[in-house]
Amino acid sequence: MAVLEILKIPDDRLKQISQPVEQFDDALRAFIDDLEETRCDGPAAVGIAAPQVGHFQRIVIVDVSNTRKPVPNHGHMILVNPEITHWEGFEMGREGCLSVPDYTGNVIRATHIKIRAQDSWGNPLEYEMEGYEARAVQHELDHIDGMLFIDRVVSRRTDLFQRKVYQKGGKAKK
Ligand code: NI
């Protein structure tokens, strides 16, 4: 296992669209282990996407098991080839990102989504989710399409906020 280097803005590789995973083999699972170790390095991020470490395949990890938000959630998820199949509602919320270390921003996301994905063995997964978990998944799925939350803020003048110091237990990064 290894902690991988995180690409940060303005690295143009973060805009690259990732390719679907076709082989569910040991190399894939070894990469997912490294991606998870990278997510948990330092103050653990809520989510991470493969392209954030320069690996352009459609793989994300989201773990909202430590959130204080009361809505039930699915805890730790490894999502390979994830797709959103249904969106409902919208609300503004604050986001951060390992690839955008100096800022947080207000982003509008769907409040309820349904997703389809595969696990690391290729088995099909289906989840329905809402609130913070739905936001985290939408944020990570953007990464595999080359999008960052700063591309979605309504106004860079009023909706982007400079982080002062990164505090342990503070705003979660994704
Ligand atoms: Ni991110």
Domain ranges of the chain: 23-164
pTM: 0.92
Torsion 9-147-144-39 (CA) sign: positive
> What pLDDT was estimated at residue 68?
75
Assign domain 23-164 to its CATH architecture: Alpha-Beta Complex (3.90)
- Helix, strand, coil % in the chain, rounded to nearest 5: 25, 35, 45
User: Is 76 marked as a binding-site residue?
Assistant: no
Q: Three-class SS of residue 83? A: strand
pLDDT digits (tens, 9 = 90+) for 74-101: 999 999 999 999 999 999 999 999 999 9
Whether 140 is a known active-site residue: answer yes
Judged against a pLDDT cut of 70, whether residue 173 lies above it is answered with no
Q: Which of 36, 83, 128, 140 is catalytic?
A: 140
* Residue whose entry in the numeric block shows the structure tokens 């953007």: 142
Phi and psi at residue 129, in whole multiples of 5°? -150, 165
- Per the prediction, the chain carries an average pLDDT of 93
* Residue whose entry in the numeric block shows the structure tokens 């999008």: 147
How much distance in Å is there from the Cα of 148 to the middle of ligand 1?
A: 7
39 or 157: which leads in pLDDT = 39
Judged against a pLDDT cut of 70, whether residue 168 lies above it is answered with no
